[in-house]
Amino acid sequence: ATASMEHDLVYGNKGSSGFEGGVVYVDGNENGIGSKLTLNHVTITDHPCDTPIQGNAVKATWNSQVFVKNCILWNNGGDDVEADERSKATVSYTLSQETIKGSGNLSKDPLFVNAAEHDYGLRQGSPAIGAAEPATGGGRANLGADGNVVPAGK
């Protein structure tokens, strides 16, 4: 399969005991046929997992590829992005809780307006404001689900 997610907010799922996976799980098969997923301007946040299980914001398995850009991955209980030994993950211009190598990536509190009330807009002073991949012709949008919003947060 080939799929994309753009301008999506995914929050508040919960992984149960004995389950290992991801909020967004990209799966192929043992015959070498993988899936491809592109995430652009997506916010994935607040996904608690019961111990000892560690969930992931994004997980790629069985020959799959995932491309993450202009996203916010925060408070998800495990790795923000994980790819097994047969898969590939490319991350750029993304704010994540853990440090991820790649162009334009940040690891700083996104300063959501009010995560407790599920308001995942960006407060003024958020490092995610104006941090997206530079646009053709100049200018930079905000990271996350509201990514085309250029004004400086709430």
> What is the mean pLDDT of each successive set of 10 residues along the chain, which is 154 residues long?
96 70 85 94 87 76 96 90 95 96 97 96 96 89 83 44
What secondary structure letter does DSSP report for 75? S
**Per-residue confidence (pLDDT) for residue 152, from 0 to 100:** 44
**Per-residue confidence (pLDDT) for residue 153, from 0 to 100:** 43
Say if residue 142 is exposed, middle or buried (CB neighbours under 10 Å; 0-12, 13-18, 19+).
buried
CA angle 33, 59, 17 (to 5 degrees): 120
**Per-residue confidence (pLDDT) for residue 10, from 0 to 100:** 95
**Per-residue confidence (pLDDT) for residue 15, from 0 to 100:** 65
- What is the C-alpha to C-alpha distance for residues 45 and 80, in angstroms, rounded to an integer? 10
**Per-residue confidence (pLDDT) for residue 22, from 0 to 100:** 78
**Per-residue confidence (pLDDT) for residue 47, from 0 to 100:** 85
Inter-CA distances, 111 with 38, 54, 137, 149, Å: 25, 24, 28, 16
Task: List the alpha helices (DSSP H) in the chain.
Answer: none
Helix (H) or strand (E) holding 36: strand 36-40
Inter-CA distances, 40 with 67, 84, 113, 117, Å: 8, 21, 21, 24
C-alpha atoms less than 13 angstroms from C-alpha of 62 in its C-beta half-sphere: 13
